[in-house]
């Protein structure tokens, strides 16, 4: 996706688009590292690991359908006309 975005960008805007993309990717990453460092300074790391494990398990259960999940309905097949006639 990034490569196509830069590929389609006019040459005179390439530097600005690359800079904006770099900012959009690195600022949230830096903020999450700072937040993690602040949490470790305040909260015991074992509690953080337990919370992360719980969130991971809940996410897996949700993504796999979870208990009582309903299978998606299948669409009725669409008849195809023979256009060669």
Q: What is the pLDDT of residues 6-56, one digit of tens each?
A: 677 888 888 898 899 899 999 999 999 999 999 999 999 999 999 999 999
On whether residue 14 sits in a domain, the answer given is yes
On whether residue 20 sits in a domain, the answer given is yes
DSSP helix/strand/coil, 20 = helix
CB 40 within 8 Å of CB 52: no
For residues 58-73, give the mean pLDDT.
Answer: 76
Distance from C-alpha of 48 to C-alpha of 16, rounded to nearest angstrom: 39
How many folded domains does the chain comprise?
Answer: 1
Distance from C-alpha of 66 to C-alpha of 63, rounded to nearest angstrom: 7
pLDDT at residue 79 in the model: 76
On whether residue 19 sits in a domain, the answer given is yes
On whether residue 73 sits in a domain, the answer given is no
Beta carbons within 8 Å of 61's beta carbon, 6+ residues apart: 67
Question: What is the residue range of 29's domain?
Answer: 2-63
pLDDT at residue 8 in the model: 78
On whether residue 25 sits in a domain, the answer given is yes
pLDDT at residue 50 in the model: 96
On whether residue 24 sits in a domain, the answer given is yes
On whether residue 72 sits in a domain, the answer given is no
Distance from C-alpha of 69 to C-alpha of 30, rounded to nearest angstrom: 37
On whether residue 79 sits in a domain, the answer given is no
């Amino acid at each position: 996706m990034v490569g196509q975005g830069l590929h389609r960008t006019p040459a005179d805007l390439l530097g600005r688009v690359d800079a904006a993309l770099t900012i959009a990717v690195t600022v949230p990453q830096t903020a999450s590292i700072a937040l993690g460092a602040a949490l470790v300074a305040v909260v015991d790391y074992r509690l953080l690991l337990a919370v992360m494990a719980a969130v991971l398990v809940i996410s897996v259960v949700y993504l796999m359908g979870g208990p009582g999940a309903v299978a998606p309905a299948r669409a009725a097949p669409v008849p195809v006309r023979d256009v060669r006639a």
